Amino acid sequence: MKSKRIRLGVNLDHIAFIKKSRDTLYPSLADAVKVTEEAGADLITIHLREDRRHIQDLDAIEVRECAKTLNFEMAHTDEMIKFATELRPDFCCIVPEKREEKTTEGGLNLKSLNSSELDLFKNNIEKLKAADIKTSLFIDPDIESVKLSKKLGAEIIELHTGDYANKFNSIDEFDALESLIASSNYAHSIGLLVNAGHGLNCENIAQICEIPHIHELNIGHAIISQAVFTGLNDAIEKIISIMNNCD
């Protein structure tokens, strides 16, 4: 048993995907928050994308009203900084966004920012802080990105575990894991909290839990995928029962 329990954030974007695909009121995000919290998750994570492909503005407001702790993922844009300071999540995780990507495929490319872009980033993190929001930066596991995150004033980093997940069970798995371990150790040594996420599932998560200083994991796809099968039986039985009780 570990001395400190790792916190779990559950990403509910996939629930919003189903809702958006038919523009129905269900599945309800408020119900999803309730079940998620009752199941023991420590926080709710949602990502309001610029293209609004899953979570909508009203979904974010609904989730904020009922979630005990909210981690709001967003791109670094003026629109999102304004939205977040009004929404007031507990945490903002700033992520890169590309229109054509299926999901957040890599960490922020902080190394490519020039000095005025770095200043803007720093100012925006200060704005979030002034609104009582802690900022986390979603970065690839490399030391330079960790250093820049600290320089920008972030209190937390979230290490992108996608590369490790893709390499899991291949000969490159160990190198990917080593980069995560080195980044986590370094981040901890300079006073950053270390979260991690992306592509984690029941098969590949154990080694991630062994990485020193991991504070929280954010997981979406694998949990919602599993939930489909855990819940499918009940959903079918319910419909059959209603059909059988019709006159």
Residues labelled as active-site residues:
47, 73, 198
202 exposed, middle or buried (CB, 10 Å; 0-12, 13-18, 19+)? exposed
74 touches ligand PXP by CB under 6 A? no
Binding window for ligand PXP (CB under 6 A); candidates: 20-28, 84-92, 176-184, 214-222: 214-222
Find the binding residues for ligand PXP in span 190-209 (CB under 6 A): 197-200
User: Per-residue contact track with ligand PXP, 90 to 109, x per CB under 6 A?
Assistant: ---x-x-------xx-----
Minimum CB separation from ligand PXP for residue 181, in Å?
A: 19
Q: Which two tokens stand for residue 154?
A: 């972030």
Answer yes or no whether residue 135 interacts with ligand PXP by CB under 6 A: no
Which residue in the block uniquely carries the two structure tokens 């996608």? 162
CB atoms inside a 10 Å sphere around CB 224? 18
Which tokens go with 180?
Answer: 């995560």
Three-state SS string over 29-61 comes to: HHHHHHHHHHCCCCEEEEECCCCCCCCCHHHHH
Contact 59, 16 (CB under 8 A): yes
Residue 202 Cβ vs ligand PXP, minimum distance, rounded to whole Å: 12
Name the minimum Å distance from CB 246 to ligand PXP: 39
Q: How many chain residues bind ligand PXP (CB under 6 A)?
A: 19
Q: Give the footprint of ligand PXP on this chain (CB under 6 A).
A: 11, 13, 47, 73, 93, 95, 103-104, 138, 158, 197-200, 218-222
